C-alpha cells in the first residue's frame, strides 16, 4: 500500500472503474467531489483505488452464476496474487438468494471459503449507494490516520477565509445541527458564502455540497422548519 504523505490528502483520490461496471456506481462516486475517475478494462477486480486497493463487486445473481461457471474461484486467485489489499463486495438483499439454485448452507460454505481459504474479506451491501460507501470506508481504514476523509473531502477554508473574525462562531452554529461537523460546516460556508445563505438554501442546493447527504439535509430542514 503506497504511503500517504501528510500533504497528499489534498490530492484527488484516483478511482479506476472497470468499463463493464454500471454507470450508476460511477455517478455515486462523482457526487463526492475530490476524485479523478476513469474507466478502463481491469485485468483484476472491478475497482482500483490509488493503485493500492482492489474491490471485486458482485451482485447476488452474478455471484451465484460465477460459482457455477467457475469464475469466482479464478477471480479470487487473481485477487490474492495481485499483491494489493483486496476484498469482495456482495451486493443485494438476503431475499435475492431465494431466486438462486443455492441452499443457505451451500452459500455459507462458499463465503467461508473466500474468507478463510483465500483470506479475502467478503463484505455485504444492500444497494449501489451502500457499496460505494463501504468501498470508500474500507480504503480509509487502509490509509490510516484519518487521511482518507481529508482526501475525499479536503478542508476547503483558505488562509484568507480563516481571517474572518466570525468564522469560528459560524462554524459553531452549524456544528449544532445533527450530522454536521467542522469539515461539513466549512464546506457549507464555502459553498454559500455566509450563514444566512446556508440556512435558507433549498434541499437541492444543499445536496450539491460534497459529503452532505439526504439524511443530514432532511434533519437540518426539519429543525429549521420547526
Q: Are 91 and 128 in contact (CB under 8 A)?
A: yes
Q: How far apart are CA 8 and CA 191, in angstroms?
A: 23
Share the mean pLDDT of the chain.
82
Which three cell numbers mark 112?
Answer: 467461508
| pTM of this structure | 0.60
Q: List 123's β-bridge partners, or say none.
A: 89
Domains of the chain: 6-151 (3.40.50.10130), 157-225 (1.10.150.20)
Q: How far apart are CA 189 and CA 125, in angstroms?
A: 33
What confidence score (pLDDT) does residue 84 get?
A: 86
Helix (H, G, I), strand (E, B) or coil at 204: helix
What confidence score (pLDDT) does residue 133 get?
A: 92
Q: What is the mean pLDDT of residues 30-55?
A: 89
What confidence score (pLDDT) does residue 2 get?
A: 37
Q: Are 54 and 84 in contact (CB under 8 A)?
A: yes
Q: What is the mean pLDDT of residues 99-124?
A: 85
Q: What is the mean pLDDT of residues 24-48?
A: 90
Helix (H, G, I), strand (E, B) or coil at 123: strand
Range from 3-12, 37-46, 57-66, 70-79 carrying the lowest mean pLDDT: 3-12
Which is more confident, 17 or 226? Answer: 17
H-run or E-run covering 72: helix 71-81
pLDDT over 60 (residue 158): no
Amino acid at each position: 500500500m503506497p504511503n500517504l504523505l501528510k500533504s497528499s490528502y489534498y490530492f484527488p483520490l484516483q478511482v479506476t472503474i472497470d468499463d463493464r461496471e454500471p454507470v450508476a456506481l460511477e455517478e455515486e462516486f462523482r457526487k463526492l467531489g475530490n476524485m479523478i475517475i476513469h474507466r478502463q478494462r481491469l485485468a483484476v477486480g472491478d475497482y482500483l483505488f490509488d493503485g493500492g486497493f482492489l474491490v471485486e463487486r458482485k451482485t447476488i445473481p452474478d455471484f451465484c452464476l460465477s460459482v457455477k461457471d467457475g469464475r469466482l474461484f479464478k477471480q479470487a486467485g487473481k485477487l490474492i496474487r495481485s499483491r494489493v489489499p483486496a476484498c469482495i463486495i456482495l451486493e443485494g438483499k438476503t431475499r435475492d438468494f431465494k431466486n438462486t439454485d443455492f441452499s443457505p448452507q451451500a452459500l455459507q460454505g462458499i463465503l467461508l471459503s473466500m474468507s478463510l481459504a483465500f483470506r479475502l474479506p467478503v463484505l455485504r451491501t444492500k444497494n449501489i449507494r451502500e457499496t460505494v460507501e463501504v468501498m470508500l470506508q474500507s480504503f480509509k481504514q487502509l490509509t490510516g490516520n484519518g487521511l482518507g476523509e481529508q482526501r475525499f473531502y479536503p478542508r476547503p477554508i483558505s488562509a484568507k477565509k480563516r481571517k474572518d473574525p466570525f468564522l469560528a462562531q459560524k462554524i459553531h452554529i452549524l456544528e449544532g445541527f445533527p450530522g454536521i461537523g467542522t469539515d461539513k460546516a466549512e464546506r457549507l460556508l464555502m459553498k454559500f458564502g455566509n450563514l444566512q445563505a446556508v440556512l435558507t438554501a433549498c434541499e437541492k442546493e444543499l445536496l450539491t455540497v460534497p459529503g452532505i447527504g439526504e439524511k443530514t439535509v432532511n434533519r437540518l430542514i426539519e429543525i429549521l422548519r420547526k
